[in-house]
Amino acid sequence: MKADLVKLDAGKAGQVDLDDSIFGLEPRADILHRVVRWQRARAQAGTHKVKTRSETSYSGKKIYRQKGTGGARHGDRNAPIFRKGGVYKGPTPRSHAHDLPKKVRALGLKHALSAKAGEGKLIVLESSEMAEPKTAVLAKAAKDLGWRKVLVIDGGEVNANFARAARNIEGIDVLPSMGANVYDILRRDTLVITKAGLEALEARLK
């Protein structure tokens, strides 16, 4: 599979070959769903917490005598039945992460890349190098290239000037090749991969 190689000034710089085993697959929604669910579960803080009856601040003294009142038998005000009492079986801090085989994770990334390539929403950028970290320059380039909501994947390290210029532009997010993931790829309209990023991704996924 071939793709056009574009420059930041919207000019053409030839073509580049895309590996069919990475960019030419038929995307499977079930695999993408599994990987996104795994990612979001790992990102969940899991800090939700409620007080049990042993942690609420009421006295533990028996409310009234056991018998002879004509009312129900109760021990103390911390019971869940009372207002401001402890919560029964409420949430406690925990990790929501679950396991997913590495092969499935790698396959999910391939399917996400293939989905963008199949939709015609994959752009290969010759280089992200900029002489100066000028937001106005990058904003004009993005407008000329028709970028609205894009994820830019660079090589091993993101070009510092490009990253600084993109920092204040809404709709442009930048990641190094090792940070490429299914969730971030799918939630953007367009995927932009630099030539260095393309080589790094192919080396990572082969």
Q: What is the pLDDT of residues 101-117, one digit of tens each?
A: 999 999 999 999 999 99
Separation between Cα atoms, residue 190 and residue 188, nearest integer Å: 6
Rounded Cα distance between 83 and 81, Å, is 7
The pLDDT score that the predictor gives to residue 156 is: 85
Q: Tell me, what's the pLDDT at 199?
A: 92
Q: Does pLDDT of 24 surpass 80? A: yes
Stretch 24-37: mean pLDDT: 96
Task: Report the first-to-last Cα separation within the chain, whole angstroms.
Answer: 16
What the block records as the tokens of 18 is: 């895309």
- What pLDDT is stored for residue 119 in this prediction? 92
pLDDT band at 155 (very low <50, low <70, confident <90, very high): confident
Q: Are 111 and 31 in contact (CB under 8 A)?
A: yes
Residue 3 clears pLDDT 90, i.e. is over it: no
Summarize the chain as % helix, strand, coil (round to 5).
35, 15, 50
pLDDT at 2: 84
Which residues lie closer than 8 Å to 66 by C-beta, 6 or more apart? 73
Predicted confidence (pLDDT) at residue 50 exceeds the cutoff of 90: yes
Predicted pLDDT at 12:
83
* CA–CA dist 14, 44 (Å, integer): 43
Check whether 173 has a pLDDT greater than 80: yes
pLDDT average, residue stretch 144-151: 91
Q: Are 156 and 180 in contact (CB under 8 A)?
A: no
Q: Which domains does the chain have, with CATH numbers?
A: 2-43+99-205 (3.40.1370.10), 50-90 (no CATH)
| Structure tokens, 145 | 């290239």
Indicate the residue type of 38.
Answer: W
- Determine which helix (DSSP H) or strand (DSSP E) holds 41, and give its type and residue range: helix 29-43
| Distance of alpha carbon 123 from alpha carbon 204, whole angstroms | 19
- Compute and round to an integer the Cα radius of gyration of the chain: 27
Helix, strand, or coil here: 190? strand
- pLDDT averaged over the chain? 92
Residue 59 confidence class, pLDDT cut points 50, 70, 90: confident
In this model, does residue 60 exceed pLDDT 90? Answer: no
Q: How far, in whole angstroms, is CA 204 from its chain's centroid?
A: 19
Q: In terms of pLDDT, which residue wins out, 12 or 41? A: 41
- Asked whether residue 10 carries a pLDDT value surpassing 80, the answer given is no
User: pLDDT at position 121, please?
Assistant: 93
- pTM: predicted TM-score of the whole model, two decimal places: 0.83
